[in-house]
Amino acid sequence: SAVISQKPSRDICQRGTSLTIQCQVDSQVTMMFWYRQQPGQSLTLIATANQGSEATYESGFVIDKFPISRPNLTFSTLTVSNMSPEDSSIYLCSAERGGADTQYFGPGTRLTVL
Amino acid sequence: KQEVTQIPAALSVPEGENLVLNCSFTDSAIYNLQWFRQDPGKGLTSLLLIQSSQREQTSGRLNASLDKSSGRSTLYIAASQPGDSATYLCAVSKAAGNKLTFGGGTRVLVKP
């Protein structure tokens, strides 16, 4: 299995500011993903974090709003830029080693924007 | 576009009763299907993963079946306990290393 940690676990931010969320995996993984879970909703994929190249974003999500880095095979960051109250959500990082492996999830970062 | 639906949205049962959670998906061309558990305010814990070539997977009191051609999966939890209270999510993947498409979840409450 893979153990994933996220920092911070929660934060309360002011409108117009930015927050960077870190995701650390305890072993090398092939794929890393960032999901958003809005209050009372299920998970929606924001983007696939590609090692050494630009992230692949899903429809409705753009790099200027959610810049992502993945400098190596165990670490990724997601920045939520110019935040508004609508960005209040839980942001989850996940990872997969490829093949028939399960997808492992971090504990999430609970973001509240005032 | 793949759509995943979970019915019911919420379920309340007395302790000891068996739980049956349903998941349906519109595109049968899946690579695998996973069932997750999510406790309030927490991340996801993987329960079972079923490859598209498999019919079922079992782990302890949990059993998940997959009927790929009809686009359905069912999670059975035998002899439910209060500790089983959580939201259960199913998700499908189209290919290895591909994103997961999630259902809306079933919120389960097991009453002592």
Is residue B85 over pLDDT 80? Answer: yes
- From residue A38, alpha-carbon distances to A12, A46, B23 in Å are 15, 12, 21
The pLDDT tens digits of the residues spanning B40-77 come to 878 899 999 999 999 999 999 999 999 999 999 999 99
The residue of chain B with its CA nearest to that of A107 is B43
Is the CB of residue A9 less than 8 Å away from at least one CB of chain B?
no
The pLDDT assigned to A100 comes to 64
Is the CB of residue B13 less than 8 Å away from at least one CB of chain A?
no
Residues B49, B100: Cα–Cα separation, whole Å: 12
The pLDDT assigned to B103 comes to 96
Is residue B21 over pLDDT 90? Answer: yes
Residues B112, B101: Cα–Cα separation, whole Å: 33
Q: Do B99 and A96 touch (CB under 8 A)?
A: no
Average pLDDT over residues A63-88: 96
Taking the CA of residue B105 and the nearest CA in chain A, the distance in Å comes to: 7
Contacts 24+ apart (CB under 8 A), A54-60: A58/B99
pLDDT band at B20 (very low <50, low <70, confident <90, very high): very high
Q: Do B97 and A41 touch (CB under 8 A)?
A: no
The pLDDT tens digits of the residues spanning A5-38 come to 999 999 999 999 999 999 999 999 988 999 999 9
The length of chain B in residues reads 112
Taking one residue from A and the other from B, the number of pairs with CB-CB distance under 8 angstroms is 55
Is residue A99 over pLDDT 80? Answer: no
Percent of chain A residues past pLDDT 70, beyond the cut? 98
pLDDT band at A2 (very low <50, low <70, confident <90, very high): confident
Bridge pairing between strands A10-13 and A109-113: parallel
Token couple for A69: 């880095």
Residue A99 or A109, more confident? A109
76-105 in chain B: CB under 8 A from chain A: 89, 91, 93, 96-97, 99-105
Is the CB of residue A106 less than 8 Å away from at least one CB of chain B?
yes
The residue of chain B with its CA nearest to that of A99 is B96
Q: ∠A41-A44-A49 over CA atoms, to 5°?
A: 150
The residue of chain B with its CA nearest to that of A98 is B97
pLDDT band at B19 (very low <50, low <70, confident <90, very high): very high
Q: Do A99 and B32 touch (CB under 8 A)?
A: no
Out of A95-109, B12-26, B52-66, which region has the weakest mean confidence (pLDDT)? A95-109
Q: Do B42 and A107 touch (CB under 8 A)?
A: yes
Residues B16, B7: Cα–Cα separation, whole Å: 21
Average pLDDT over residues B105-111: 96
In whole numbers, what is the pLDDT of chain A averaged over residues?
93
Is residue B97 over pLDDT 80? Answer: no
Token couple for B38: 């999510």
